[in-house]
Amino acid sequence: MQRTLVKDAHASAEPRDSILLQGWVRTRRDAKAFSFIELNDGSCLKGMQIIVPDTLPGYAALMHRAATGASVEARGRLVASQGAGQKWEVVAEHFAIVGDADATYPLQKKGHSLEFLREIAHLRPRSNLFGAVFRVRSRLAYAVHRFFQERGFHYVHTPIITASDCEGAGEMFRVSTLDAANPPRDAAGAVDFVRDFFGRQSFLTVSGQLEGETFACALSNIYTFGPTFRAENSNTSRHAAEFWMIEPEAAFLDLFGNMDLAEAFVKHLVRDAREHCAEDLEFFSKFVDKQLAARLDFVLERPFQRCSYTEAIEILEKSGRNWEHPVAWGDNLQSEHERFLAEEHFKCPVTVYNYPRTLKPFYMKVNDDGKTVRAMDLLVPGIGEIIGGSQREERLDVLLEAMRAHNLNEKDYWWYADLRRYGTVPHSGFGLGFERMLMFVTGVANIRDVIPFARTPGSAEF
Ligand code: 4AD
Ligand code: MG
């Protein structure tokens, strides 16, 4: 007999004479002539109530073993439920234990702290919260592909191992084939990285952008979606050393077209989650963030705001706030400033653009003022920066000059410069942090709780 998922059983239009469910026991409650078992299989938030009558052979021994966490299967009739909050329940005609779980099973019905659940990252997907988070994560990954594929963007697999530091922040993890105990040394005794992987220094990628640009300058519209790595030792709720990024890149697109694309993309993801993960989002609204539903509605209903970096600085200076990090033209916006702009000033997602050239990587297009570049950051309430992007410098001479200003070796980026040598075009792109997007859609406040196995300082046990 074929297994039915709990989700499909709940969606059944009529009773069924015979149904087979398989999953894990969430709770068991024993009554006089039968036991109630809540069986959960991860297909949806709600478990299915199974009624096991005491007339089943071996009833007492079976119920003794049907403890929270045990895997079980139940075959029986799907019937209308008398209980509140559920349409159907299953009256078991056959019930079996597949795998026992003893009393050390750490997930009990009572609420556990997020910190505790992080320590059992291998079991936390069985909890309501994490089941919901990871169903939404899966759905949104699919929605990412749908959005771009339906718009004619091609998916490009950019490399994980690379020699280039796209963001120039020096936050790269080294990939090495060197024998750490006995590395080759040059004449002066220094470790000889020339003999490292590929005959040069290699790293885990911080961004697929530079390689993505080569494909945009051929296929016109492309996107990447993969893991990226940053060796920043920042212990915040928004930074991970390994995170997933979506990076579209489009030829013949300017900065404002790029902003339009980013806005349509974020709205598409919110709308998709609303439509396809309604039950899970309701759970987040109830137990994680009471403002969530209102915030997501708001995002869908209105156009995002836009303001230049220079205007943003004026707003911050005029705010009369006592900033922890005082801010003036030329300074990086800190999280407190980003959140003020999105949460208190605009009360809406806002794209800040035209940042000082000194704050941004070498590849951004320089504006006519010579001081600013065509950068854009999308800031959202509750999180701050969720997207970073720009129009790229397509003029060879200006690009080479920027490389020198950033102390980059032109020879290392000859292939990148070639894109400007042969048929250069204006082009733009951006990167959306997938985990930050998930935090925004679920209301979950810590990045460690929206990625299956968080790679943050001090968390590599799994
Ligand atoms: O602003 P970033 O560094 O931009 C880039 O990497 C560009 N190359 C993207 C492009 O234009 N193609 O990173 C983009 C986004 C950020 O806005 C943030 O959402 C996320 O990636 N991000 C992180 N997410 C989690 N942990 C970290 N350590 C992150 N660093 C960046
Ligand atoms: Mg950024």
What residue's CA is closest to ligand 1, atom 31?
Answer: 433
Cα(37)–Cα(19) distance, integer angstroms: 16
In this prediction, residue 455 carries a pLDDT of: 92
Q: Is 429 in the pocket of ligand 1 (CB under 6 A)?
A: yes
Q: What is the pLDDT of residues 77-117, one digit of tens each?
A: 999 998 888 999 999 999 999 999 999 999 987 789 999 99
Confidence of residue 183 (pLDDT cuts 50, 70, 90): confident
Confidence of residue 181 (pLDDT cuts 50, 70, 90): confident
Residue 283 CA to ligand 1 center (angstroms) comes to 29
Cα(243)–Cα(250) distance, integer angstroms: 23
Residue 205 CA to ligand 1 center (angstroms) comes to 12
In this prediction, residue 276 carries a pLDDT of: 98
Of all residues in the chain, the percent with pLDDT exceeding 70 is 98
Residues with CB under 5 A from ligand 2 (ion): 388
**Within 13 A of 234's CA, how many CA atoms are on the CB side?**
12
Mean residue pLDDT of the chain comes to 94
DSSP state of 45: S
Neighbour count for residue 308 (Cβ, 10 Å): 14
Q: What is the pLDDT of residues 308-345, one digit of tens each?
A: 999 999 999 999 999 999 999 999 999 999 999 999 99
Of all residues in the chain, the percent with pLDDT exceeding 90 is 86
In this prediction, residue 58 carries a pLDDT of: 95
Residue 388 CA to ligand 2 center (angstroms) comes to 5
The ligand whose atoms approach the alpha carbon of 223 most closely is 1
**Both tokens of residue 212?**
């993505």
Q: Is 213 in the pocket of ligand 1 (CB under 6 A)?
A: no
Instruction: Identify the CATH number of the domain defined by range 6-99.
Output: 2.40.50.140
Nearest to 450 by CA among 143, 105, 140, 142: 140
Question: Across residues 173-189, what is the average pLDDT?
Answer: 82
Cα(419)–Cα(393) distance, integer angstroms: 11
In this prediction, residue 186 carries a pLDDT of: 82
Q: What is the pLDDT of residues 226-241, one digit of tens each?
A: 999 999 877 899 999 9
**Both tokens of residue 341?**
């702009």
Confidence of residue 182 (pLDDT cuts 50, 70, 90): confident
Residue 387 CA to ligand 2 center (angstroms) comes to 7
Nearest to 206 by CA among 235, 254, 171, 246: 171
Residue 306 has pLDDT above 60, yes or no: yes
Nearest to 379 by CA among 275, 309, 291: 309
Instruction: Answer yes or no: are the C-beta atoms of 375 and 356 closer than 8 Å.
Output: no
Report which residue type is found at 280: D
Question: Across residues 18-28, what is the average pLDDT?
Answer: 97
Residue 282 has pLDDT above 90, yes or no: yes
> What is the residue extent of each domain of the chain?
6-99, 126-159+209-449, 170-205
In this prediction, residue 179 carries a pLDDT of: 78
Residue 364 has pLDDT above 60, yes or no: yes
In this prediction, residue 460 carries a pLDDT of: 56
Return the best residue to mutate from 245, 246, 253, 259 for the ligand 1 pocket (most ligand atoms within 8 A of CB). 245
What residue's CA is closest to ligand 1, atom 22?
Answer: 433
In this prediction, residue 459 carries a pLDDT of: 67
Assigned architecture for domain 126-159+209-449: 2-Layer Sandwich (3.30)
In this prediction, residue 195 carries a pLDDT of: 64
DSSP state of 99: E
Cα(415)–Cα(55) distance, integer angstroms: 75
Residue 194 has pLDDT above 70, yes or no: no
Q: Is 16 in the pocket of ligand 1 (CB under 6 A)?
A: no
Instruction: Answer yes or no: are the C-beta atoms of 305 and 350 closer than 8 Å.
Output: yes
Q: Is 438 in the pocket of ligand 1 (CB under 6 A)?
A: no
Instruction: Answer yes or no: are the C-beta atoms of 244 and 207 closer than 8 Å.
Output: no
Instruction: For 310-374, give the DSSP string.
Output: HHHHHHHHHT----SS---TTSPPPHHHHHIIIIIISSS-EEEEEEEGGGS-TTBPBPTTSSEEE
What residue's CA is closest to ligand 1, atom 28?
Answer: 239
Does the CA dihedral 445-448-449-452 come out positive or negative? positive
What atom in ligand 1 is closest to the CA of residue 206? 6
- Cβ-proximal residues to 126 (8 Å cutoff; 6+ apart), any chain: 24, 40, 42, 69, 107
The ligand whose atoms approach the alpha carbon of 238 most closely is 1
Q: Judging by beta carbons within 10 Å of its beta carbon (0-12, 13-18, 19+), is residue 460 exposed, middle or buried? A: exposed
Chain center to CA of 313: 29
Residue 71 CA to ligand 2 center (angstroms) comes to 45
Residue 439 has pLDDT above 90, yes or no: yes
